[in-house]
Structure 1
């Protein structure tokens, strides 16, 4: 029998993305997100309007979508409650967020230059997608409190071991993306790490884990 709950969030299960962008002063910003989908050589990204990444994408019109494997969950979780915006709202402070200007150091990740855009890559991520913003659409209901970015992928970087030899295809048996389902981290079908984000959002997160 189906029920009609008023769900607090709609993260049914999407890959985690570490978005590399460039701040107004030229320094690097890095933010985790899981509202992304791909079609052909394009992607759609959903970002809240209060995020530093949103301001960066609107201004710079470029980014790098770094796709972490499930083994990188510790680094991603270290970023979960950090913001690159110096002004942190009271609600975010209550959730546990704090301002951090150097996200790469906080996550213990390595900044790597891109080839075609000024935004940074994450050296540890096995897949990195250099992108240019082609459109930005106000998004949200009842208030337009987010932006949906349409980006074009202009260069792809993939670890050689993930590519099927002699082809231009990624081996799905070797690629194990980090997935977020309702603010919880998953690799494969297993809940693999406690989530600070779930705690900050008061989500039920005392789950049975395999690791």
Structure 2
């Protein structure tokens, strides 16, 4: 195979401000020092079996809470909830607002009032789940590592999964990928996933 320069293949060399090529939006719930709860949106996420790796802003309330009280829930909003996610995107639970965030954020102590969402109790961890989200994880932090720049890399073990009945393959523990639609964040835009184009041979839910 010939290694051709990108320019000869018709590509452009660019330097985007962010590299969110398409990642799921999730809502992180944590416990504040006074026992109330914080809720924040994020989209830096990957999973390996029962472990999650999340990227959270270092100077955000979620990161502060997790370093002091290492439990969280991760709730995944379906695409119709994107306006609620966007309402949360410009507020922070930190007070006063850190100088680095002051131009982009305002303080809000009641994130449910801002978003229009609601909580329901978790079964194992202290932070609650977001009731409106069809897929919810309860998790415990196993390690938190400062990353480059303004982000904390959080490794968390999922200890319980909750799923709405309509997104589960009946009689199994499998999420039906044709019924479950995560909200995808791509270059600062929100998307629903499109039609299925294929599947791995190891899929537990493939229909063909």
Q: Does 1:103 align with 2:111?
A: yes
Could you tell me the TM-score, scaled by structure 1's length? 0.84
Cα separation, 1, equivalents of 2:73 and 2:155: 13
Q: Does 1:48 align with 2:53?
A: no
Specify the structure having the higher radius of gyration (Cα): 2
Q: Does 1:77 align with 2:86?
A: yes
Aligned length: 186
Deviation of 1:94 after TM superposition, in Å, equals: 2.6
Cα separation, 2, equivalents of 1:148 and 1:94: 24
Q: Does 1:158 align with 2:158?
A: no
In the alignment, structure 1 segments of 5+ residues that lack a partner are 191-211
Q: Does 1:186 align with 2:191?
A: yes
Deviation of 1:189 after TM superposition, in Å, equals: 4.5
Give the 5 Å matches for 1:58-97. 58-95=67-104, 97=105
In the alignment, structure 2 segments of 5+ residues that lack a partner are 1-9, 196-208
Cα separation, 2, equivalents of 1:84 and 1:184: 24
Q: 1:173 aligns with which of 174, 178, 181?
A: 178
Could you tell me the TM-score, scaled by structure 2's length? 0.85
